[in-house]
Structure 1
Amino acid sequence: MSLVYKSEKTITHYMCDRSRSLTLPMLVNLLLEVSEEQSSELSRDESYLKARGVNWIILRYEFSVSRMPNLKETINIETRASEYNKLFTYREFVVKDSSGKVLLTVDTTFALMDLSTRKMVRLTDEIVSPYQATASRRIRRSDKPKELTDFDDCKQRTFDVRYFDIDGNGHVNNAHYISWLLDSLPSDFLKSHEVSWGVIAFDKEVSEHQSIDSLSMRRKERGTATDHQIKSEAAVHCKASFTWKKLNKEEH
């Protein structure tokens, strides 16, 4: 049985949007912080990995949200590395309120990247065994973001990749991708809606000084849904799909 790690966090002002709810980019930052806390406890933190010339990268998120935590709310985050194969490890997060009610769950797919070649490498027992995840030969088949079908109907914004967008691995922090994805949506829509489900898939790295285009398109399906793409002249770097629920004024 894989080891479960738990951590308590309090939502502060800088983590929230204008509706005083935790933002999706800040949620991801909190989840990765807790993941790193567990790795440190198991002596498998970032410094351990970098000494071996590798580090974790995230290939996929899938979110299922009942509601996002609010400003000053104390939440409990539980995480475990549930399963791994020769290339990927699957980590689960559960976020609960102070009474133990589940607010949201997040499933993630991690891989190891060689810091010199910038390519994925095989997982080793030395790195993954402390987490007590289940070894498997299967590669999970999961929901994928929907493809954008009509670029003429897409909303589009262009962003330049800045120095402070790059993290210690030498690539753009996940939270910045999510901000770019969502920033292509109209502010009136973002003020009146909250994510209820989402999937994000990462492909090619984005580099400093690149310009990227964030495209989005709305569709009607199970409520309101949006599909997204981050691309440059050279490649498509990230795709995402989200399902949204309309916020009640009483909620905020």
Structure 2
Amino acid sequence: MKNQIFEREHQINYYECDANKQLTISMLVNVMMQVSGEQSHELGVGDEELAKKGLAWIVLQYAVDIKHIPTAHQKIKITTQALSYNKLFCYREFHVYDETGTLCVTAKSTFALLNFEKRKMVRIQEETVAPFQAPFSKKLVRTPKPEKVVEEQFTENEYRVRYLDIDTNLHVNNSKYLDWAIDTLDYDFLTTHKLTHLNIKFEKEVYYGNQINSQMSLFENEEGEIISAHRIMTGDVVNSEASMTWKKNGEESNR
């Protein structure tokens, strides 16, 4: 059987965009997660059904390549499909097309099942993934790790986790990590540069009331691309690491 491909259209609202009128990376992730959630629901294995078993999907990592970001009031199309799964992980791919039908974003993600009460990962259940028609593979898909923050060079911002940062899994929503990471970059940088690649890995959950530090260091690679390395910390615990690749506005992306 062939993997199920699912698609949805989305009208970009102005409140989903930044000062450049571009869809923010956190909202892009939210839209993609909404589409994958709708596919799960239509296949009868949505959040409500998983909750009856005391389970919930969690995302462990995203790798996102961006040719260009859609802007306010455009209508985009998002397609997604489950690629494969093994005993512990499920792998999913997303494509985002702008209103001309041009591919603008490609993303791959790694999911796992969480035992809601024990807050621990559990083995993937056959009946949960079967409707997606994705093949079982013993092979682990190894997404490269994000770049590391340079210890002697990072800057940091401090935040307290608010009620509205928490999602229905009772931990900080994935998109909030991206907001905290982006916020370490200044206004002039963000309005003169565009994001071309994101790699973010989630390590430990963050909960309501936690005090977190968002740390960032910036450097230029051999190709002349600017890399921002990010780390979200609670005390001495690393909760998430990410790296982002940037180019100045007007420069073409090689990805």
Compute the TM-score of the two structures, normalised by the length of structure 1: 0.96
Task: Please list, as runs of the form range in 1=range in 2, the aligned pairs for 1:1-252 lying within 5 A after superposition.
Answer: 1-149=2-150, 151-221=151-221, 222=223, 223-248=225-250
Q: State whether residues 63 and 143 of structure 2, in contact with CA within 8 Å, keep that contact through their aligned partners in structure 1.
A: no
Could you list the per-position Cα deviations for residues 72-125 of structure 1 after superposition, in whole angstroms to 9, with x for gaps in the alignment?
A: 111100000111000000010000122321001010000000001000000011
Shift of 1:210: 0.8
Which stretches in structure 1 are left out of the alignment for 5+ residues? Answer: none
- The residue identity in structure 2 corresponding to 1:161 is V
- The residue identity in structure 2 corresponding to 1:111 is A
Q: State whether residues 213 and 232 of structure 1, in contact with CA within 8 Å, keep that contact through their aligned partners in structure 2.
A: yes
More off after superposition, 91-100 vs 211-220: 91-100
Shift of 1:234: 3.9
Which stretches in structure 2 are left out of the alignment for 5+ residues? Answer: none
Shift of 1:245: 1.4
Shift of 1:46: 0.5
Percentage of matched positions with identical amino acids: 38
CA distance in 2, matches of 1:156, 1:56: 30
Shift of 1:190: 0.9
Shift of 1:152: 3.1
More off after superposition, 101-110 vs 138-147: 138-147
RMSD: 1.1
CA distance in 1, matches of 2:184, 2:100: 36
More off after superposition, 139-148 vs 23-32: 139-148
CA distance in 2, matches of 1:226, 1:28: 19
Runs of 4 or more off by more than 3 Å in structure 1?
none
Q: State whether residues 80 and 92 of structure 1, in contact with CA within 8 Å, keep that contact through their aligned partners in structure 2.
A: yes
How many residues were matched structurally?
A: 248
CA distance in 1, matches of 2:229, 2:62: 15
- Structure 1 counterpart SS, 2:152: helix
- The residue identity in structure 2 corresponding to 1:219 is F
Q: State whether residues 155 and 185 of structure 1, in contact with CA within 8 Å, keep that contact through their aligned partners in structure 2.
A: no
